[in-house]
């Protein structure tokens, strides 16, 4: 255990899967790689593994840093580490970059064996169900029959939920944080704006921009700007930026007048500099499609009847992307099935992004929940 409670320097690994994967859409992925990281040690009983599922723009790099890159801190480093709520002295924690991703797992930037060129827009649609199926194969490879827990926030929470449905006997506990059992029309609407922004960028070239040596920077920037608005609460934006002026007075120009404009442009530019547009498109579609109640005439309780895990559900008061009401809907359906559910509705000013922050109350309840998991 380092003094900082960090898992320290980590490095990703790659697992190759030669067996074809039939996706929910019916398309078949002939072979694929998954990039993953692990923290802690798998115990002799192999019953202390925790899978951390990432959200829209996340990755397998959950905790720690890469050698020589002290700023390359994992996205949930405040949660995962020795002595942290998800304690790596107790648990063997795994982060996986999902299929269709842009951090090393097979995705649109990978070579399509049929053409010898990057998949680009021809990469098949991937769903939450497909991600979970691929993660299960990685679990097989690592010799993990049953996870102590599967954990995720936002789109990651949907994967945790799906694990309890696709593999009820392979998940003892599931934590579903700042998520929803399905997107609302408004959620889909924001995704659609993001997609149209990317697809209408002339540099998108129908999704085959790699071959043109360009990137649909403007579209991806706009998509991220819209996303950011939905990640932050109105309150948080008000507190952080309000109507703060860049120059202390109205300049009557098209450059930045208000600091919020500068923040959004910066976030958009930064994101467009490292994230892949096709991956972004695929991830928004995976979000849209997820709806476990779809095959049950919308009856969520019926859809969840096969789950066996013990659940932890958390929501945040100012999250308007996936409001507490959406978590309550999930909790209610789980309870209807006689499942054990701990539900924390947390006060927070930070909106949807709260799930990534180390709010003391939030981390305290998560810590207590992880402490209660026997290994």
* Residue 22: strand pairing partners: 28
From 351, 358, 365, 361, select the one nearest 312 (Cα to Cα).
365
List the x/- string, 282-311, binding to its own copies by CB under 8 A.
------xx-x--------------------
Instruction: Say how far apart CA 327 and CA 239 lie, in whole Å.
Output: 26
Among 145, 192, 255, 358, binds its own copies (CB under 8 A): 192
Site for its own copies in 257-286 (CB under 8 A): 257-258, 260-261, 264-265, 268, 281
Q: Find out whether 218 and 275 touch, Cβ atoms under 8 Å.
A: no
* Distance in Å, CB of 193 to its own copies, minimum: 5
| Tokens at 284, concatenated | 């928004």
315 catalytically annotated? no
- Bridge-based pairing of strands 173-177 and 310-316 is parallel
Active site residue 352: yes
Residue 173 known to be catalytic: no
Q: Is 47 annotated as a binding residue?
A: no
Residue 81 carries which DSSP code? E
Catalytic residue among 154, 323, 348, 354: 154
The residue (of 70 and 254) whose beta carbon lies closer to its own copies is 254
Total of residues contacting its own copies (CB under 8 A): 52
Instruction: Output DSSP code: residue 138.
Output: H
To its own copies, the closest distance from the beta carbon of 302 in angstroms equals: 17
First-to-last CA distance in the chain?
19
Contact 308, 168 (CB under 8 A): yes
To 10 degrees, what angle do helices 217-231 and 185-199 make? 160
Which chain residues interact with its own copies by CB under 8 A? 24-27, 124-125, 182-186, 188-190, 192-193, 195-197, 199-202, 218, 221-222, 225-226, 228-229, 232, 234, 237-238, 240-243, 250, 252, 254, 257-258, 260-261, 264-265, 268, 281, 288-289, 291
Residues involved in catalysis: 154, 319, 352
């Amino acid at each position: 255990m380092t003094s900082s409670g960090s898992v320290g320097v980590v490095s990703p690994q790659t697992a190759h899967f030669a067996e074809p994967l039939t996706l929910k859409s019916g398309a078949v992925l002939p072979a694929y790689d998954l990039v993953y990281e692990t923290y802690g040690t798998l115990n002799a009983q192999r019953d202390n593994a925790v899978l951390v599922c990432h959200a829209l723009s996340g990755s397998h790099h959950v905790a720690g840093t890469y050698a020589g890159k002290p700023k390359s801190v994992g996205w949930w480093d405040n949660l995962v580490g020795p002595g942290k709520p998800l304690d790596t002295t107790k648990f063997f924690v795994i982060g996986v970059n999902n299929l269709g991703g842009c951090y090393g797992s097979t995705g649109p930037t990978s070579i399509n064996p049929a053409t010898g060129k990057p998949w680009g827009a021809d990469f098949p649609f991937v769903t939450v169900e497909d991600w979970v199926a691929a993660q299960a194969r990685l679990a097989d490879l690592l010799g993990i029959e049953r996870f102590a827990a599967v954990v995720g926030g936002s789109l990651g929470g949907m994967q945790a939920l799906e694990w309890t449905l696709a593999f009820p006997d392979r998940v003892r506990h599931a934590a579903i944080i700042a998520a929803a059992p399905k997107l609302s029309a408004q959620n889909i609407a924001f995704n659609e704006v993001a997609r149209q922004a990317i697809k209408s960028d002339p540099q998108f070239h129908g999704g085959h921009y790699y071959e043109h040596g360009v990137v649909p920077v403007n579209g991806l920037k706009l998509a991220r700007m819209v996303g950011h608005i939905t990640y932050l609460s109105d309150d948080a934006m008000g507190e952080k930026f309000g109507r703060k002026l860049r120059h202390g007075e109205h300049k009557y120009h098209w450059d930045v007048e208000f600091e919020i404009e500068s923040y959004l442009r910066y976030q958009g530019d930064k994101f467009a500099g490292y994230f892949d547009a096709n991956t972004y498109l695929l991830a928004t579609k995976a979000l849209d499609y997820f709806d476990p109640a779809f095959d049950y005439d919308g009856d969520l309780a019926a859809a969840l009847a096969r789950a066996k895990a013990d659940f932890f559900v958390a929501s945040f008061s100012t999250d308007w992307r996936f409001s507490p009401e959406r978590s309550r809907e999930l909790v209610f359906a789980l309870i209807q099935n006689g499942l054990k559910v701990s539900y924390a509705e947390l006060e927070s000013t930070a909106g949807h992004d709260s799930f990534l922050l180390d709010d003391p109350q939030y981390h305290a309840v998560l810590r207590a929940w992880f402490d209660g998991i026997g290994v």
